[in-house]
Amino acid sequence: MTAEGSGVRGRIAIVSASVGAGHDGAARELAERLEAEGYEVQRHDFLDLLPGWLGRALPRAYEKQLSAVPWTWDWLLGFLQLFPLAARAVTGMFAFAARRSWGVLPADVQCVVSTYPLASHALGRLKRKGRLDAPIVTYLTDMSVHRLWVAKDAEVHLALHPVAAEQAERLNARNVTIVAPAVGPVFRPARNEAERVAARRKFGLPEIGRYALVVAGSWGAGEVEEAAREIALSGGVMPVVVCGRNEALRQRVERAKVGIAFGWIDDMPTLMRACDVVVQNAGGLSSLEAFATDLPVLSYRCLPGHGRTNAKALDRAGLAPWIHTQGQLEVALARLTRDHQDSTAELFSAQDPSTVISDLAKHTESGRSGSAPGTRSRAAAWTARRQWVGRNRAAS
């Protein structure tokens, strides 16, 4: 049944990856917004499109690498950034391995969105093979953009800030468009002091005091315990450590008595409203959620690789200072500055990414509408798409 026959506005597919939580978080929010606009949205996990052993091994290997030998991740990303041919070999290997991807996309899909770099390259391979004529949109989830993110067959790359857009364009990304972060509306500032106090009560935090929310992704990776200890030593601020699914980390923080430790949190918006500052080490989704909650963010003891490149980009954008020493940390926590407000307000004033995706899908469908029933006019679709890209690029 066609999208028109089913009564929906159209069909959009989103390909993410359950590697950590940031890629899936962005995909989930984009899907909810597009569904609210009337689209039928299919979400797919890139890991499911790989051979079973590879799909299971990839996140495990990545987690082990970050926890046991993080310097190797830093080296690998640096090597691939420096040598384009090596990056092309890696992305090509995974694109070939994800050959199942062509079978999961609906025949009348109007746009395919990727929130994971390797997925963008797999989709691009489908396009080159003639198995996909819908446009590919890459949503860049991080503030820094690595070479692996840029897929030559993606018609549009959505960047979260001019800093990210500049990096993407230097890597020859096509049609870079600046959009607001895809963060759910549940992440918002406390409406009043009573709501803030209620949030603290929910998590058993004393009503009086200042709290630094220490986040390290769903895996609790990195020098989290050390960061909590140094925050506690700074005086005046109590660390509240979210350990994610890392139960060993939670137990270590509790034994060390360097702060209040939580495992996996289902209500992060409320916990953020209970705190005064966020200290992060990866620069991913948690940082964007903190900005939406109007919390100042500090980058400290950052993960090698993407953690440090994101910290550098956030610092350059004026969104979150990158703290390098315990002395700098003490000064930053003592100030708990709200200077971030102007920069974060500008961050969320950009156009909605779902609007860009919806508009592109609409123009794709208009290009197909002139074809005979049951067929596709690829040339017409591409003509409409090029016209849309030109107008959108001029507007941005």
What domains are defined for the chain?
Answer: 3-183+350-395 (3.40.50), 193-347 (3.40.50.2000)
Dihedral (CA of 264, 268, 272, 274) sign = negative
Element (H, E) at 40: strand 39-45
pLDDT 10s digits, 280-318: 999 889 999 999 999 999 999 999 999 999 999 999 999
Element (H, E) at 13: strand 10-16
Whole-model pTM: value is 0.88
Contact (Cβ atoms closer than 8 angstroms) between residue 13 and residue 40 = no
What is the Cα–Cα distance from 70 to 305, expressed in whole angstroms?
A: 8
Contact (Cβ atoms closer than 8 angstroms) between residue 148 and residue 118 = yes
What is the Cα–Cα distance from 215 to 283, expressed in whole angstroms?
A: 10
Give the contacts of 324 (CB within 8 A, at least 6 positions apart): none
Q: Radius of gyration (Cα) for the chain, nearest Å? A: 22
What is the Cα–Cα distance from 357 to 395, expressed in whole angstroms?
A: 15
| Residues in a beta bridge with 105 | none
Token pair of 391 as six digits: 């107008």
What is the Cα–Cα distance from 144 to 314, expressed in whole angstroms?
A: 8
Closest CA to 392 of 183, 180, 182, 174: 174
Q: How far is CA 27 from CA 13, 23, 32, 122, 396, in A?
A: 10, 6, 9, 17, 23
What is the Cα–Cα distance from 323 to 8, expressed in whole angstroms?
A: 49
Q: Is 322 helix (H, G, I), strand (E, B) or coil?
A: strand
Residue 340 confidence (pLDDT): 52
Residue 9 confidence (pLDDT): 81
Residue 215 confidence (pLDDT): 94
Residue 338 confidence (pLDDT): 52
Closest CA to 27 of 14, 37, 18: 14
Closest CA to 119 of 34, 17, 12, 21: 17
Per the document, the length of the chain is 396
What is the Cα–Cα distance from 102 to 129, expressed in whole angstroms?
A: 10
Token pair of 235 as six digits: 């005086």
pLDDT 10s digits, 156-210: 999 999 999 999 999 999 999 999 999 999 999 999 999 999 999 999 999 999 9
**Residue numbers of the chain with a pLDDT score lower than 70:** 1-7, 102, 337-343, 366-396
Give the contacts of 23 (CB within 8 A, at least 6 positions apart): 16, 17, 115, 116, 141
Closest CA to 21 of 68, 75, 63: 63
Q: What is the secondary structure of 229-267 as a DSSP string? A: HHHHHHSS-EEEEE-TT-HHHHHHHHHHTSSEEESS-S-
Closest CA to 303 of 15, 22, 11, 102: 22
- Chain centroid to CA 201: 30
Give the contacts of 53 (CB within 8 A, at least 6 positions apart): none
Residue 220 confidence (pLDDT): 86
Number of Cβ within 10 Å of residue 89's Cβ equals 11
Number of Cβ within 10 Å of residue 349's Cβ equals 8
- The amino acid occupying position 140 is L
